[in-house]
């Protein structure tokens, strides 16, 4: 799988400082583990409340999914509201929905307040390839309007979709004015700078080698320790070896993105009239959007085996050409991949390992918005206002079957069935 450094985001990112590795013992009120959006958001909210915060990142800020993803900030949850209602009832599902909407507003506020240069644009289109998907989009719009009062969704028939996108691939679409897209690495780096300005201390190249859960907790790295009253685990798909108890609750899923050469403003606007994010309705979905310098960023081929067994650039390019065959002459300049974490239910998994040890994981492809608000929920809970965080602890999460050795093969077989279903 292509490394983060080969991505378009790394190529186009704003400069970031080289932060030191942890050395010696440090005391803190809170130790945050993980330097993605969830970790940086947690650190920022806590530092703004006056807590002494230490953040440990095993690589560089934004190394994981937060700096490599498709960059689409999407309303709601990957599992859908109906599944949440079945588990926790309508009132709690409504609170979760409102929190997800707040997460999108939080992005807007942070970008403005902290002057984060991350190419933020609003508008997202969820498109249908088949008639049954068109029916699902209509039902989703009705459900969210009637039960949740969400009026930002505009249903589009084929002709309206084709007026926005130069493709015959889609028979309908659902335009969401409340969702958007951004440069995820620049956004993550901006949050880290804001957290440091608020007083947080960030250490890079500081992989956590051990966690002793006690009061205070001890977080160990190769060259130092952090003694903290609270710990927030924000590693997601990249924290697999750290806490074995959490391993079977999520699955790291490989996803891949390509970026074309710069197509020029006229050509990219011919392909996509508006600067929106686009996601299709397949279970194994494709997504794409424009970049600030007029490239097409196209991703979505996923690997549930953990192996990149095909030529990433060519395979993803073929999928891109199914949507936009007129790009056959466009050179692919960047191709990269990374892991996102999913749960069995596709609902987020937020909870505690102990009264003073929190974890955030299982964003299941909705991480751009949910990670940020999840960090705020952790900060609220540590400060003694746990009501909103505890709504999520009511969700029940099943382990992936087969244990560490067999969970990957079992999921590969299941995903083969879903890919077949997408074709029907």
At residue 239, the pLDDT reads 58
pTM of the model: 0.93
CA distances from 371 to 174, 180, 378 (A): 24, 15, 11
pLDDT at 1: 39
Q: Does residue 234 belong to any structural domain of this protein? A: yes
- In this structure, of 181-190, 215-224, 246-255, 336-345, the range with the lowest mean pLDDT score is 246-255
What pLDDT does 145 receive? 97
Q: Pick from 289, 298, 339, 344: which is nearest to 321 by CA?
A: 298
What pLDDT, in 10s, does the model give residues 80-97? 999 999 999 999 999 999
Domain count, the chain: 1
- pLDDT tens digits, 258-307: 999 999 999 999 999 999 999 999 877 899 999 999 999 999 866 544 45
Kindly state whether residue 18 falls inside one of the protein's structural domains.
Answer: yes
Domain coverage including residue 376? 4-69+186-249+345-401
Strands (E), 70-134: 72-73, 121-128
pLDDT-derived band at 249 (thresholds 50, 70, 90) equals confident
Helix (H, G, I), strand (E, B) or coil at 332: strand
Examine residue 414 and say whether the peptide bond preceding it is cis (omega within 30 degrees of 0).
Answer: no
Q: Is residue 361 part of a domain?
A: yes
CATH at residue 239: 3.50.50.60
Does residue 291 fall inside a structural domain?
A: no
Which pLDDT does position 309 carry in this prediction? 45
Q: Does residue 287 fall inside a structural domain? A: no
Q: Is 312 inside any structural domain?
A: no
Average confidence (pLDDT) over 203-212: 96
CA distance 45 to 169: 43
Helices (H), 120-273: 131-148, 158-164, 184-197, 244-247, 265-271
DSSP strands (E only) in 213-286: 217-221, 224-233, 251-260, 277-280
Q: What pLDDT is attached to residue 308? A: 52
Kindly report which listed range (106-115, 350-359, 409-418) carries the lowest average pLDDT score.
409-418
Phi-psi region of 10 (alpha: psi -120 to 50; beta: other; left: phi over 0): alpha
Q: What's the CA dihedral at 379, 193, 338, 118 to 10 degrees? A: 110
Give residues with Cβ within 8 angstroms of 109, minimum separation 6: none
Q: What percent of the chain has pLDDT over 90?
A: 79
Residue 122 within any structural domain of the chain = no
Cβ atoms 132, 188 nearer than 8 A: no
In a domain, 124, yes or no: no
């Amino acid at each position: 799988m292509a490394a983060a450094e080969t991505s378009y985001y790394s190529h186009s990112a704003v400069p970031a400082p080289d932060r030191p590795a942890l050395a010696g013992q440090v005391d803190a009120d809170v130790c945050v583990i993980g330097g993605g959006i969830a970790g940086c958001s947690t650190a920022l909210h806590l530092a703004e409340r006056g807590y002494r915060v230490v953040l440990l990142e095993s690589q560089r800020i934004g190394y994981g999914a937060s700096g490599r993803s498709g960059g689409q900030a999407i309303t709601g949850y990957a599992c859908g509201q109906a599944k949440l209602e079945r588990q926790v009832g309508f009132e709690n599902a409504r609170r979760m929905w409102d929190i997800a909407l707040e997460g999108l507003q939080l992005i807007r506020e942070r970008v403005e307040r902290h002057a984060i240069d991350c190419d933020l644009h609003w508008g997202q289109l969820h498109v249908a390839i088949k008639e049954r998907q068109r029916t699902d989009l209509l039902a989703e719009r009705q459900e969210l309007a009637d039960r949740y009062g969400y009026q930002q969704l505009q249903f589009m028939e084929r002709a309206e979709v084709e007026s926005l996108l130069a493709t015959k691939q889609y028979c309908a679409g659902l335009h969401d004015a409340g969702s958007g897209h951004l440069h995820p690495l620049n956004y993550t780096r901006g949050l880290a700078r804001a957290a440091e300005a608020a007083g947080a201390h960030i250490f890079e190249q500081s992989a956590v080698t051990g966690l002793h859960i006690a009061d205070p907790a001890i977080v160990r790295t190769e060259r130092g320790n952090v003694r903290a009253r609270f710990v927030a685990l924000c590693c997601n798909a990249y924290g697999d070896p750290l806490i074995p108890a959490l391993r079977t609750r999520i699955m790291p899923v490989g996803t891949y993105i390509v970026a074309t050469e710069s197509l020029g403003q006229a050509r990219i606007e011919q392909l996509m009239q508006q600067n929106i994010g686009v996601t299709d309705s397949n279970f194994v979905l494709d997504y794409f959007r424009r970049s600030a310098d007029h490239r097409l960023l196209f991703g979505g081929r996923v690997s549930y085996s953990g192996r990149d067994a095909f030529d990433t650039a060519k395979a993803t390019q073929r999928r891109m050409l199914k949507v936009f065959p007129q790009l056959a002459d466009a050179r692919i300049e960047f191709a990269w991949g990374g892991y996102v974490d999913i749960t069995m239910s596709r609902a987020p998994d937020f909870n505690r390992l102990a009264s003073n040890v929190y974890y955030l994981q299982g964003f299941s492809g909705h991480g751009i918005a949910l990670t940020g608000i999840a960090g705020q929920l952790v900060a609220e809970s540590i400060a003694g206002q746990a009501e909103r965080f505890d709504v999520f602890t009511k969700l029940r999460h099943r382990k992936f079957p087969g244990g560490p050795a067999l969970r990957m093969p079992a999921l590969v077989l299941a995903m083969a069935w879903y890919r077949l279903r997408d074709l029907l």
